[in-house]
Amino acid sequence: MTGGKSTGNRTCAVVVKCYAWDAFVERQLARVQAGAGDLDVYLSVDDTSGKVKLPPWNNILRTNQSEILQLGLANRYEKGSLLWWNPDYTHYQVFETIPDYENYMFMEYDVYIRGGAALLMEKIRKAGAENVVQVRQNMKEWMWTSLHKDIYPETICRGSLNCITVHSRRSLQFLFEKRREMSKRDDIPFWPLSETFIPTELYLGGFQCTPLSDFGDISHYSWFPPVLEDDLDFGPCDELTFFHPVLDQARYVQSLLAHTHFVKDYFVPHSPLRRELGRFPGVVSTSDLISAAWTRGLARIRERFGGI
């Protein structure tokens, strides 16, 4: 791993977030660096489960749950873990550590921006956009909307896909203060997840959220299906395309097994799932398919009845 030196350009800090380190994450970080121009690229790593071993690099921002809570943020979440439910918590520690940038671009390790972060930031500055997130349009169909009704009624509730977010210093400071204010309350039955908190609080605060789609192609920017890194074109490009989740083979297969929507697709020979798995002969056994189908079936039942 090379680079990581600050350039003195305080236009934007590009922060790649990861929770482990391996060859795939290293490739992803190198791809971000290659498209970042003279913007400063940082790696934010979560050490909650133990200190992640990393190669020498200058711009590493380490965090863990204990340090996050010392910022005055509530130890509350409804599913997964603290930083899985509240990934914006990490943003505030980054802001406390490197507070002097005009803008902050956060991206998960499994994001790829074809065209590069520098081009995205150039377009954002030309547009005068203060916040860039991909805000959802189908809030009535989104499973999380009704669960937030006590703190965010349907008329104001917003949702977003936050794999890539860009905020001005002013906006990030505002969100940090709102999370800390919320953390002092004891009357919130359902703790707002990041994808609701960020767009809704920005809306209530009078901030504009410009959709990521204003700057490039988002046809491959979603939670599912995944994109295999081997299928991507990493050549030069003067247009922006956003990909998420981009995964190596092992993660790609795991994602297909965990998130394929219909149980029948695990068993129908020519289903999209079986066609994709056919690219990797011998990787998945029949017992793997049965186990994955059973787990996915139970998850769909919980979702159907409003569970999380």
Q: Residues 20-56: pLDDT tens digits?
A: 999 999 999 999 999 999 999 999 999 999 999 999 9
Distances 237 to 68, 219, 242, 300 between C-alpha atoms, Å: 38, 17, 12, 39
Q: How confident is the model at residue 3 (pLDDT cuts 50, 70, 90)?
A: low
Rounded CA-CA distance 91/110 in Å is 17
Give the pLDDT mean for 230-254: 95
Question: What contacts 133, CB < 8 A, 6 or more positions away?
Answer: 160, 161, 162, 165, 166, 198, 199, 209, 211, 212
Distances 93 to 46, 80, 117, 270 between C-alpha atoms, Å: 11, 20, 22, 47
Higher pLDDT pick, 237 / 305:
237
Domains of the chain, residue spans: 12-244, 249-304
Considering the entire predicted model, what is its pTM?
0.94
As a CATH number, domain 12-244 is 3.90.550.10
* Residue 103 CB-half CA count within 13 A: 22
pLDDT in tens, 196-212: 999 999 999 999 999 99
pLDDT at 5 over 70: no
What values do phi and psi take at 288, rounded to 5?
-65, -40
pLDDT at 4 over 70: no
Give the pLDDT mean for 276-302: 92
Q: How would you classify the pairing of strands 40-46 and 217-221?
A: unpaired
Rounded CA-CA distance 73/86 in Å is 10
Contact 133, 165 (CB under 8 A): yes
Q: How confident is the model at residue 7 (pLDDT cuts 50, 70, 90)?
A: confident
pLDDT at 1 over 80: no
Question: What contacts 244, CB < 8 A, 6 or more positions away?
Answer: 108, 110, 111, 112, 161, 163, 164, 220, 221, 222, 223, 227
Contact 108, 163 (CB under 8 A): yes
pLDDT in tens, 90-147: 999 999 999 999 999 999 999 999 999 999 999 999 999 999 999 998 899 898 999 9
pLDDT in tens, 260-271: 988 899 999 999
Rounded CA-CA distance 164/113 in Å is 9
